[in-house]
Structures are given as structure tokens and as C-alpha cells.
Structure 1
Amino acid sequence: MANGPIAERNRDATIYVGGLDDKVSESLLWELFVQAGPLVNVHMPKDRVTMMHQGYGFVEFMGEEDADYAIKIMNMIKLYGKPIRVNKASAHQKNLDVGANIFIGNLDPEVDEKLLYDTFSAFGVILQTPKIMRDPETGNSKGFAFINFASFEASDASIEAMNGQYLCNRPISVSYAFKKDSKGERHGSAAERLLAAQNPLSQADRPHQLFADAPPVGMMPVLAPPPPPVVMPPTGMMPPGMAAMRGAPPPPPPPVPPPAAFPSGIPPPPLPPVQPPLPPAHRPRRLPRRPWPISSKHRDSSCRLHHRRHLPEAQVVLRAA
């Protein structure tokens, strides 16, 4: 990747990526972080003898918002089975520590840095990746960790909400951590809080702060008011076509308004003539009678005559005699 001079890089738009596997290359980092925003440069310092990278790199974005977004979504994801650490590579990173450091004890061996980050980042901005103390030889967790918040409000909320809660079927203890090189003094003292209040951190010095706090009122986008809800009229008030589609009978016609009063001296228009009612349609009182059937007497005589016609003449003569 194109590497520009370090002095010309925008430190506020540059992030630090650590914990990289030996198989990770600059092209892979480019393809990964370009999903968060347009990039300017990707640089991985290499050893001059072995020409292998040293497990970390720097990614420069075109804007600070893209860098903050990459820290939010890319921190603690795994590359080749190793979680990577993504922080803001700012020159003021050392001045971010206000003393809101907490201690988390009685951790289950299955708890890793990503689980701690996902759990405690809900209370506020975490300046650095949660640090789980591990055995240098085996790499197993020693059962406690440290988290550095950007404000005492976030650390106070995490202690109040998470102390005594279960994490991976173990109740954890959450409290302020002891200060280094001190005789039993913990962080979160009144002096630290007063110092943090007198020297508030600027918005640009806090990593991914835009995602933890709401934007100022002046930066809020002006949205158009939502359209009024469509209120369906009752069935009786629907148009005839819509009511027919829904299976309801058409509404009755509206009543005729009363005639308006006419001024004096002007006769009202004549009313339309009243049409007489139509006579009822003519219907026959009853159906015509069916014709009477032929009697058996006529039927027998006809049959006899019919048979006589077909008898031989000799038989007719004999019967006549």
C-alpha cells in the first residue's frame, strides 16, 4: 500500500491495529477496513532483518468519523483465530486516562477480552482494550482484568450494575482498581474526580465518542414531520365502491335538505307534479284448466275399431253373422 510520510498523516483519522497474526498482510487489512469507510493509507512496520511485520499496523481513513466507526465495529474481531485490538492512534492518547479504572475479579476461564468489551461498553466509552491478566507461559486467564473508562460516570454505572452479577455462571466482583506505586489507594478518589472535572476531555480526543453520546442539538438532522395517519371512515361513511369491495351494503342516499326560505314578494317555484302510482301488473288469477283425458270407453272402442280394420274379411263376416 502507498505509504506517505508519518508527519503528513492525519493522526485523528488514523487507527492502531494490534494483535495481528503473521499471515495478515497490508492488502488484507485494506480489504477489511475499507468496509468502514474510504482509506488513505495502510502501513505495517516490518523487521529489517526478517522482513516480517511486528504484529501491528496503522490504518488511515479520509475522515475522523470513519476512524471512529471502524473502532466501534472492528475492535476484538478475530483474524486467523486471534482477536485484534483497534484503538485511536492519537498523539494525545496518553492524556486520556482520567483515573476511571475498574478491577474485575472472579472471572471464568472462558471469559475473553471481546466478551468483557461487549459487556462493559454499554456503560460508556472504553479507552483501551480490556486487559485480562494471563499466565505468560500457558496464556490462561488468572481470573481478573482491568478496564479503563473515559469518564467516572461510566465507571460508577458499571460498578453499580455489574458488581455481584453472573458472567459465564460466575458472580464477578467489580470495584475501582488500586493505583500503581501507591499504598492501598484506589482510583475514583475525590481528587481525581475534581481533576477530571477541571480538565474535561475534548470531543476529538475521545475514541468513538460519537457512538456513546448523542450529537449536539445543532448537529441533529432536521427531519420532516411524519404524515398524518390514514383514518379509515366507518362502514356507513365509506364510498360505495370501497364498501362494496369490503362486502358491506352501499350507504343510503343523503336526505334532501329542506327548501330555503324565499324573500317576500317572490313566489317559490312550483313543485313538480305528483305522478299517480302505477297500476299493478296484470296477473292471471289461475292457470288454464288441463283438458280432460280420453275416457276408457272411447279408448276401448277405438282400439276395437283399430283391430277390426286389420282382421281378415272372412272373420268379419263370420262375426257379423
Structure 2
Amino acid sequence: MANVAQVYERNQEATIYVGNLDPKIDEEVLWELMVQCGPVANVHLPRDKITNTHQGYGFVEFKNEEDADYTVKIMNMIRLFGKPIRCNKSSQDKKTNEVGANLFIGNLEPEVDEKMLYDTFSAFGVLLFAKVMRDPDTGASRGFGFISYDSFEGSDAALAGMNGQFLCNRPISASYAYKKETKGERHGSAAERLIAANRPSDLPKGPGAAPAKGGGKGGPPGMPSMRPPMLPPGMPPPPGMGMGGPPPGMPRY
């Protein structure tokens, strides 16, 4: 097990985060799985100090960055002990990548799981996560889920291409999700789009994205140019971003 010093000395660019791990998974199982993608330098599962059970996530450090990138591409959302694991680069800050391009996906068939949701919607852009909401007692799907893109281009394309389309013989609904801790306000607003369009140019906008160099016209290097928010054709300004979505009281993203 890695100690604190090892955690800080870890090569972050060659390290991936692995989440949604079943309690049966230990360091040996995770090592044996990940070594199929390349030489592994270290596996660390943070554990509860009292029960010694891991907390459902861990970190895998590879001996080179290329193997870490390859693992994220092929291992993300595969099922391990019946649960789809989530893999992404440890060096990526999810909050940095999130821009508010979060969609609610409703009327899902019970057999639609996270991997199917991810595979279906990743065709429209880079997904940060795909989650099917489940009953906490039975684990059965509640018939809806959420996805998040790294840009509004991806979420707009998914909204236009998938709302009302059939997935597993059932027409699904897609709309911008309600924001947490708001009264009926949805993601996808003009304000969010303006912020996303003018994010600092040295921040990547998605997994694998190269940082932009320099700024827009009329500004010093590194200073983003001010651009107006882009709304998709036919989409009204907020708050009317889509008509579907969970009613008040249901989860928001």
C-alpha cells in the first residue's frame, strides 16, 4: 500500500483514477486488470482507517504516460463484478473541465446501463461522465440518468440528435438538466455559455485537449478574447432550455 510520500511522488501524468469499484476488488485484482494495458508501477486504494475497507476508488500509476492514456480509452465503463468502473487521468480536474453542459436523459429502458449510455452519447462529443440513477436498495434503474460534456457543442449536438430517438425500443427524452440548489433553473443558459466561451486559454477543455497558447485579438498572451455565447439554432434563451427533465425534488446536476 502506498504511503503519503509515495502519493505525492507519484507521476500524475502516468496515473489514472479508477472509481465505482466493487468492495470485492483489492490491489491485486486491480493490478492484474491494469497490467493488461501496460507495465504498472503502483496501485493505491485509499482505505478506511477503522474497517480497512477501500472507499470505492483508487489510483493506478503506470510506468509511462502513453499506457495511462491507452487504459483510459479502453477500460473506462467496463464492468467489473457487475459494476461499470470509471477511469480518467488523475491529473485532470473534473471541476475545471465541467462547463455546465449537463443533460438529463429520461424514459430509459431498465437494461440501459452506464456503459450503454456512455457509448451512445460519446458519439456527439467528449463525455466527462454518464450516470444512470438507481434505486439505492435494489440497484435497479430508475429510468433516467445524466451525462456531462466538456463543451456545449457536444451537448447541443446530443440534444438535437437524440431527443425522441429510440434506445432499446423506447423513445428517450433529452434536455438540459436542472441546476442544483436553484428554483427551476437549467444548465445550458446564455450565462454559462458565455463563461465557457471565455474560460482561461491555459485550461484544457476536455480529456486530452492541448492548452491553447496566446490569446484573442487585442489582448496580451494568455488573455482570452471575449466572445458572445452561442445558442443552437431554434433554441430560446434561458430559462426555457428544453421542456423535458426531472420534476422538482428529483436529482439535479
Provide the residue aligned with 1:300 in structure 2: none
Is 1:56 paired with 2:49? no
Query: Does the C-alpha gap of structure 1 residues 32 and 200 become closer, same or farther in structure 2, counting only changes over 3 Å?
Result: farther
8 Å CA contact retained: 1:93, 1:205: no
Cα distance between partner residues in 2 of 1:80 and 1:178: 32
Q: CA deviation digits over 1:49-70, x for unaligned, max 9?
A: 3333232211112343332221
Shift of the 81–179 alpha-carbon distance from structure 1 to 2, 3 Å rule, reads closer
With CA pairs under 8 Å and 6+ residues apart, which has the higher RCO, 1 or 2? 2
The 2-side partners of 1:87 and 1:201 are apart by 22
| CA deviations over 1:135-170 (Å, ceiling 9, x no partner) | 222222111111010011111111111111101110
State the distance in 2 between where 1:39 and 1:175 align: 41
C-alpha spacing 1:57/1:205, structure 2 compared with 1 (3 Å): farther
Which structure shows the bigger proportion of residues in strand conformation?
A: 2
TM-superposition CA deviations, 1:70-128 (whole Å, max 9, x none): 11110111222222121232363222210111110111111111100111111111112
Q: Which residue of 1 aligns with 2:35?
A: 34
> What SS does the corresponding residue of 1:147 show, helix, strand or coil?
strand
What's the % identity of the aligned pairs?
Answer: 66
For residues 57-72 of structure 1, what are the structure 2 equivalents within 5 Å?
Answer: 57-72=58-73
* Number of equivalent positions: 209
Equivalent pair of 2:106/2:145 in contact (CA under 8 Å): yes
Unaligned runs of 5+ in 2: 211-253
Q: Report the CA distance shift for 1:37/1:205 in structure 2 as closer, same or farther (over 3 A).
A: farther
Give me the TM-score of the superposition, normalised by structure 2.
0.74
Would you say the 8 A contact 1:11–1:91 is kept in 2?
A: no
Partner in structure 1 of residue 123 of structure 2 = 122
What is the TM-score with the length of structure 1 in the denominator?
A: 0.60
Deviates more, 1:48-57 or 1:73-82: 48-57
Cα distance in 1 between the residues matched to 2:93 and 2:80: 28
Kindly indicate whether the alpha-carbon contact (under 8 Å) linking 2:92 and 2:207 is maintained by their aligned counterparts in 1.
no
Q: Which runs of 5+ in 1 are unaligned?
A: 211-321
Cα pair 1:12 1:204 within 8 Å, conserved: no
Aligned to 1:178: 178
Cα distance, 1:51–1:13 mapped onto 2, change above 3 Å: same
Give CA deviations for 1:270-296 in whole Å, capped at 9, x if unaligned: xxxxxxxxxxxxxxxxxxxxxxxxxxx
How far apart, CA to CA, are the structure 2 residues paired with 1:174 and 1:76?
A: 21
C-alpha distance 63-93 of structure 1, shift in aligned 2 (>3 A)? farther
Q: Which has the higher helix share?
A: 1
